[in-house]
Structures are given as C-alpha cells and as structure tokens.
Structure 1
Amino acid sequence: VDVLIHVLGGSSSPGGGFSALSDAHWAAELDLNLMTAVRLDRALLPQMLSRGRGAVVHVSSIQRTLPLPESTTAYAAAKAALTTYSKALSKEVGPRGVRVNVVSPGWIHTEAAEDLMRRIADSTGGTLDEAKQSILTALGGIPLGRPAKPEEVAELIAFLASDRALAIHGAEYVIDGGTIPTV
C-alpha cells in the first residue's frame, strides 16, 4: 500500500438536535466517521512505515467547525475527532516518511446529501425544497452558488496523494465553495 484514502462517512441519526440522539446514535456516528479510519490506519500504515514512504488522506467535513445542530450534531463531533486524530497521526508518522492530510468538504451533491434532505423533511414535516433551504440557511449560504461535485473533491484528494504534493503534510484543505465565512 502506497496510498490510503479514507472517504467513508455519513450520518443516519435523526434530526431534532441533541435530545433526539441516543447513546446508540452517538456510537454509530463515531464508529462510522472516526473508528473506521483508525482501524484502516492500524491495518495498513505499518506497510508504509516499514518502507518509509506513503500518503494518507482522511476526508473530514466543514461541519467540524460549522455543525448543523438540528440534524448532524453527532456527525460533526465525529468529524472533528477525525480531524484531530489525523493531525496527531501526522505528527507521529511524518518523521518516518508517511504524509497525512485531511480534506474537509462542505456540502457535496451526493446521494447522502439527498438522504439528509429527506430526513430533515421527514422530521419537520416539510418538503425537500424546504429541507434544502434549511441546510443552505444553516450553512449561511454557499458563495460559489452551488454544492461541489464529488469529482471536484476527488481531484483534490488525488493531488494530495500524488508525488506532486510531497511537501504537503499535516494540513487540512477545505473545499466548500466559500461556505465557511472565516479564514
């Protein structure tokens, strides 16, 4: 293994804020969004470390800094943990030749995004358009005017995994169309 890219993530927790989340919801979100990366790293990083070369890219989320409390509290917390874990891992394995970086997308037009809109609409009794607008409102809008496409995120990940990015390590790249309003 020369490159390890962890893109698994998502949320199946109900909307409704913190009080709608059971211990089982929290455990599922942490398992899916954090522990899968930890387990994959434990299984595959030793090969990279033994060769003194490799690249790891974990996909987090802008929700680690811009959570949507009505719908994705546990997901946002798990992605924040993944980003922190990734930074710690970069400090540990970087001196041994393995680069670790994070890509944090904003709203990406995926099937999971469609599922989130359906969950929000179901929990509020609203329409899909109202759910979409509630997400845009919660995010403060997307200055670029649209969610990113999966292939746009993939291009960034491919660059970070490539030899063209050999000096990039321990960094987080946000790809959100300008959603996060601060630098």
Structure 2
Amino acid sequence: MTNFLTLEGKRALVTSGTRGAGAAAVALFRDLGAQVLTTARSRPDTISPEMFVGADLTTPEGCATLATAVRDRLGGVDIVVHMLGGSSSPAGGFAALSDAAWAREFDLNLMPAVRLDRALVPAMVAQGHGVVIHVSSIQRVLPLPEATTAYAAAKAALSTYSKGLSKEVSPKGVRVLRVAPGWIETEASVQLAQRLATEAGADLAYGKRMIMESLGGIPIGRPSTPEEVASLIAFLASDRAASITGTEHVIDGGTVPTV
C-alpha cells in the first residue's frame, strides 16, 4: 500500500458533478489520477465534452443512457459516486405534499442510485472489485417538518437500500458506503443565505446564522466546504479504506445532536 492517497488507474462515475460537492469530487478524483465521467442535464463550460454525459437521471431512460456511456467510454467502472440529490418540495408541512411531490423526491433522491447500481454493479461483482458511494444527508435523521419531510424520507430510503446492497455484494468484493453531509457551503446555499439576509435587512453572515439556527446549530460554527466533502469521498473510494463497507460517514460539523 502506498503511503499517500491515490486513485491512479481507477475508472470513476460521479453523478451531478458539475457544481457544489459533486464538482469538487470530480476535480479531486482527477487530481488523484482517476479517469472520471460525470453527468447532469446540461454541460457547463468548465467540464470537457469527453468526460461528460448529458442525461436526466430522474428517468429510467436517462439512467440507461448514462450506464451505456460508462461501458462504452470507460470500458467499465471501478468507483460510482451517487452525488445526485436535492429537494423541490413546497413549504407547509406534510399536508402540502401531493403524490406528485412525493414522487419527485424519490425519483431524484433514490431511484437514480437504484437504477444505476442495477446496471453497473453486476460488472463490478464480475471483476471482483469496486466501490459504490451513496451520498445521503443528515436530514434522514434530522428532517425539518416545514420543508424537508419528503426529501428526508427519500434519503432514509437511500440509506436503507445502501445497507442492503452492501450486505449482498461486499462478500463479492464490492464495497458500498454512505456519506451524509450536513449543510455544505455551495454557491446555491450562499445565495439562499443572501436572500434570507436581504429579506431580514441584514448582512450575509446573518443569513448564514439563520440557516445554522434552523438546523439546531453547527458546533464548529460554519458549514462544510465542497472540498471537505470531496476529500472524505475520495478517501472512502480509495484502497486506503479497503476494509470499510456498509457504513455511513457523517460530515456535518457536529450538527446531529445525538449519538
């Protein structure tokens, strides 16, 4: 084993890798020597065409397109990082959530991982090695009733599915893990903090404090950075973590208040 972190020679798929922690993971994986393919609905100028696949992963067709591209362009895959996720549900608690809203949350936060794993993991089993990382959320144990009930439930389902998959394929050489971030300071989250601050007639720092308070506080006093989340993912994907499987790794600055 080398005495430094490397992904040299690894073939990796990182979904939703064009912004935030996904983009940070793509950049770090490349720096560590991996051949990386990523995807989103549209390609930004910062991503080269040869490492990008345009697909809507909330649909079976989009997942099938991506799986085919992984086989054709990478010749298979050693690491799959499911970064895709988010929420578009309205505020207003459980009564505001229609069947369509529930379906959207599960189509975004659970089913892409299920479909892509079904398409790609059998080849990992056949080659005798691989790593699958499902990016969940601390919301699965810390839902915010006003706005994130459906999202949190979908991430809880992803976590349970991930554990089941790990028990099935870890004996066959494929490690399956979960990473559960708290608040990550992405461009989108900073925009949210700025909007909250503007509405309150305050500065950006005040907006950030509002978000932290809505989560019950962050003991370290700040959100995680995309690069910090990417670093955890890269370590878990590497051979340095060869005996770690079936577990969830929280990166939330201490937000979750329980053991």
SS in 2 for 1:66: coil
CA distance in 2, matches of 1:170, 1:98: 10
Flag the 1:28–1:115 CA change in 2: closer, same or farther, 3 A. Answer: farther
1:145 pairs, out of 221, 224, 238, with 221
Structure 2: segments with no counterpart, 5+ residues:
1-76
CA distance in 1, matches of 2:210, 2:175: 38
1:47 pairs, out of 105, 123, 145, with 123
Spell out, residue by residue over 1:70-106, the C-alpha distance to the aligned partner (whole angstroms, 9 max, x if none): 1111111100000010000000111111000000000
Between the two proteins, what is the percent identity of the paired residues? Answer: 69
CA distance in 2, matches of 1:117, 1:21: 25
Spell out, residue by residue over 1:126-172, the C-alpha distance to the aligned partner (whole angstroms, 9 max, x if none): 54967755532231100010010111000000000000000001010
Spell out, residue by residue over 1:26-67, the C-alpha distance to the aligned partner (whole angstroms, 9 max, x if none): 100001000011011011111101011000100000000001
In the other structure, the counterpart of 1:94 is: 170
User: What TM-score, normalized to structure 1?
Assistant: 0.90
2:250 pairs, out of 141, 152, 174, with 174
Greater shift after overlay, 104-113 or 60-69?
104-113
CA distance in 1, matches of 2:101, 2:235: 34
SS in 2 for 1:174: strand
- What pairs with 1:104-183 in structure 2 (closer than 5 Å)? 104-114=180-190, 126-127=199-200, 132-183=208-259
Say if 1:10 and 1:112, in contact at 8 Å, map to a contact too: no
Letter in 2 for 1:39: R
1:80 pairs, out of 156, 166, 176, with 156
Flag the 1:36–1:118 CA change in 2: closer, same or farther, 3 A. Answer: farther
Higher helix residue share = 1
CA distance in 1, matches of 2:211, 2:92: 14
- Does 2:155 align with 1:67? no
SS in 2 for 1:67: coil
Query: How many equivalent residue pairs?
Result: 179
1:20 pairs, out of 73, 96, 103, with 96
SS in 2 for 1:56: strand
Letter in 1 for 2:175: R
